[in-house]
């Protein structure tokens, strides 16, 4: 005798499915948010410890932040300003060169254009970590002839950053500009405009989402970089904030987790404050560029 199990109704199955999705989403959100909450809690803990009896310290305060900004041996403020300077200059150059190069590859036909794009694509296949030794040797030799742009200089680091991220950004920008009809350019040229005027007054406003996307992603990558900055910068007053935080951890102050977590929170604030108002542009630039390109 066969016993048939009662089937669940469609409404019940939908309810169970949605409940499981909400539980999974809540678990993933908790998994992502909890480490950040723990670091913030530790930065406010005057006991200077990562562990405690509760998730939130009893006597929470800004003691660790005050000690960080007034540290006797480590100039955290200088490191933070170095990161802002290097990142701002690098992103400005990246955005300008990316826009101009992407427009040229999209609108002009010249000898070697196809091979140039293939070369850019192939170079982006290899991870940047493979070039660390070559970068170190190159910048060291370059500094012999041009000290202002060689090893242990901010100009040299900016040069490496700009050259390192141009490839993929140029291809993204070129694909985005390809989605703009050529008739737009031709109409402006017929009316007497130059190619530069067409680019500056017509194309540039139309590619604003991709410009913001390139700028924000480049900012995140350069501001948060550790490996290249650690290899090319040696002087304490030249370091970026990410390298400086590592110096905190590996020095004799490695047990002072209050200062380390306070530095991590302060270093993360610019990224959060930048991404929140611009996240719509970033999503629009990535999705629109991927569909149109």
| Distance between CA atoms of residues 117 and 293, nearest Å | 15
In order of their start, the domains of the chain are 10-63 (no CATH), 66-292 (1.10.3720.10)
Instruction: Compute the C-alpha angle 86/89/94, nearest 5°.
Output: 115
Query: In the structure, what pLDDT confidence band is assigned to residue 234 with cuts at 50, 70 and 90?
Result: confident
Query: In the structure, what pLDDT confidence band is assigned to residue 92 with cuts at 50, 70 and 90?
Result: very high
Name the nearest CA neighbour of 244 among 226, 218, 268.
226
Give the pLDDT mean for 23-33: 90
Structure confidence by residue, pLDDT tens digits, 121-133? 887 777 777 888 8
Name the nearest CA neighbour of 170 among 91, 99, 110.
99
Give the pLDDT mean for 41-45: 84
pTM given for the model: 0.83
Query: In the structure, what pLDDT confidence band is assigned to residue 59 with cuts at 50, 70 and 90?
Result: confident
Which phi and psi angles does 191 have, rounded to 5°? -80, 0
């Amino acid at each position: 005798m066969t016993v048939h199990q009662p089937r669940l109704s469609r409404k019940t199955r939908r309810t169970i499915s949605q409940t499981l999705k909400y539980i999974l989403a809540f678990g993933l959100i908790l998994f992502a948010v909890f480490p950040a909450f723990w670091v913030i809690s530790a930065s406010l803990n005057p006991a200077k410890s990562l562990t405690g009896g509760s998730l939130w310290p009893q006597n929470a305060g800004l003691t660790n932040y005050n000690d960080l900004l007034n540290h006797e041996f480590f100039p955290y403020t200088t490191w933070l300003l170095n990161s802002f300077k290097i990142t701002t200059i690098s992103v400005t150059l990246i955005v300008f060169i990316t826009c101009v190069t992407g427009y040229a590859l999209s609108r002009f036909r010249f000898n070697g254009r196809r091979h140039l794009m293939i070369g850019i694509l192939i170079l982006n296949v290899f991870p940047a970590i493979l070039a660390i030794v070559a970068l170190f040797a190159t910048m060291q030799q370059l500094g012999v002839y041009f000290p202002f742009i060689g090893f242990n200089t901010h100009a040299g680091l900016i040069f490496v950053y700009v050259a390192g991220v141009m490839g993929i950004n140029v291809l993204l920008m070129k694909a985005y500009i390809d989605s703009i009809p050529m008739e737009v350019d031709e109409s402006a040229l017929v009316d007497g405009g130059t190619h530069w005027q067409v680019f500056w007054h017509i194309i540039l406003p139309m590619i604003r989402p991709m410009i913001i996307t390139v700028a924000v992603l480049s900012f995140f990558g350069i501001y948060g970089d550790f490996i290249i900055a650690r290899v090319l910068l040696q002087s304490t007053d030249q370091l970026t904030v990410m390298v400086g935080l590592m110096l905190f951890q590996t020095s004799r102050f490695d047990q002072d987790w209050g200062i380390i977590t306070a530095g991590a929170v302060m270093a993360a604030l610019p990224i959060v404050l930048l991404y929140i108002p611009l996240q719509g542009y970033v999503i629009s630039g990535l999705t629109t560029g991927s569909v149109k390109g």
